[in-house]
A = this chain, B = another copy of it.
Amino acid sequence: MNFKEHVISTIKNKNSAVCVGLDVEPGKIPAVLKNEKNPVLKFNQEIIAATKEYTAAYKPNLAFYEQTGIKGLECFEKTLEFMGGDVIKIADAKRGDIGNTSKKYAHAFFEHFSCDAVTVSPYMGEDSITPFLEKEDKGVFILALTSNKGSFDFQMQKMADGRYLYEFVIEKINSWNAKKNCGLVVGATHPELFEGIRKLAPDLPYLIPGIGAQGGDLENTVKYGFVKNDVLSLVNSSRAIIFASDGPDFAERAGEEARKLRDQINKCLK
């Protein structure tokens, strides 16, 4: 099964296109977990247990783990182990380097940590991406149009042929997709551009951040960002789900928020 098929079947099986971003601030862990041996790991485990029914994918962002060094990476590893096999495990790492070096990153995330997918940055071009694409069952979400203000600095600048840089990048990505394991990162803060993006890349799964704390527009995202029959997009929410409550009910409330997002997406899809 190639990565695209894996995304489609997981979304169908879970009846959910929700991706939960496990971007855990140690300072925001609920007081009830403060005496745990590893509060961040325990937090992740409780969040995963409470949200898994409503969730197709989890996306821990490496920055939040690297900030505490080895201890954080241990937590990243154990969090991945806890997820089990029926969700898509996405390492949000935004890596990318010369070919020889990207190969090591691909090994790190796909072999060592057993992730299903990784996010990468396109700036260094084809040979920085292809080492991640060697196995059809391992996926790569390439930054195309991100959700932040800085997306205007380069991604939304016009090229000599009149296209935006992000459109130019997307066309290149289409040409790298022989094994059906490329995807795009497209931010929900640009809903007016989704229709055009879906035309450029009708066949790619999208990972869509920017809903929730960043203020993205869910309805237009689903209207234009999804391929309805195949539900070929994952909508990520991080803070709005995992930090829905800082009380003893934090996991329960996270579960409710994940269920709510799943239902909102499914409603928009009808």
Contact = CB atoms under 8 A, between A and B. Distances in A.
A151 interface: yes
Nearest to A213: B100
B160 A162 contact: yes
Interface string A58-81: 000101101111100110010000
Interface in A138-180: 143, 146-155, 157-160, 162, 165, 168-169, 172
A113 to B, nearest CB: 7
A151 B125 contact: yes
Task: State the copy count for this chain.
Answer: 2
Contacts of A23: 101
A121 B160 CA distance: 22
Interface in A87-143: 92, 94-99, 101-102, 104-105, 107-108, 112-113, 121-129, 143
Given A70-B74, A123-B122, A148 B99 contact: yes
A101 B63 contact: yes
Contact of A125 (B68, B126, B155): B155
A149 B125 contact: yes
A108 B153 CA distance: 25
Given A63-B105, A127-B149, A129-B150, 13 more contacts: A23-B101, A63-B108, A64-B101, A69-B108, A69-B112, A94-B96, A121-B121, A122-B153, A124-B150, A124-B155, A125-B151, A125-B154, A154-B168
